[in-house]
Amino acid sequence: MSTLHSNQEVLQNLLGAICRLVSDGTSDTYAAMVMTKFNRANIKKFPFVKYIHMHLNKVNVDKKVNSVSPKFIGRFIKKMINSLFSDLFKHLIKRELEAGLLADLKFIGVKF
């Protein structure tokens, strides 16, 4: 089985949903700052984060991430979610994502 979405689409949709949820309770600037800070702190372990760009609550992911193993992308997502977010917030994220994206996330090892 393979995923329906590219790595670029998975990251852009998931990170976009996270930024929107965080900025609802805080601000666009704060959401981007938290995510960017996490990415910078993990760039050695996950070098592909250099392809993720955030400005306010807008997320742009370069298509170069599509050359990265989806399972590696999944490890990054799991680390980010488990490091930054509570179970309640994880539930809210899950509610924001469409079924196909949730299936792809599960396929790459990310469960909500």
| Per-residue model confidence as pLDDT tens digits over 87-98 | 888 888 999 999
Q: Are 52 and 7 in contact (CB under 8 A)?
A: no
What is the pTM assigned to this prediction?
0.85
pLDDT of 100 strictly over 80? yes
| Per-residue model confidence as pLDDT tens digits over 74-90 | 999 999 999 988 888 88
Predicted local distance difference test score (pLDDT) of residue 9 = 96
Cα–Cα–Cα angle for 109, 61, 86, rounded to 5 degrees:
45
Closest residue by Cα to residue 34 from 21, 22, 25: 22
φ, ψ for residue 52, nearest 5 deg = -105, 120
CA of residue 73 relative to chain centroid, distance: 9
| 19 CB-near residues (< 8 Å, 6+ apart) | 28, 31, 32, 35, 54, 57, 58, 59
Domain ranges in the chain? 7-105
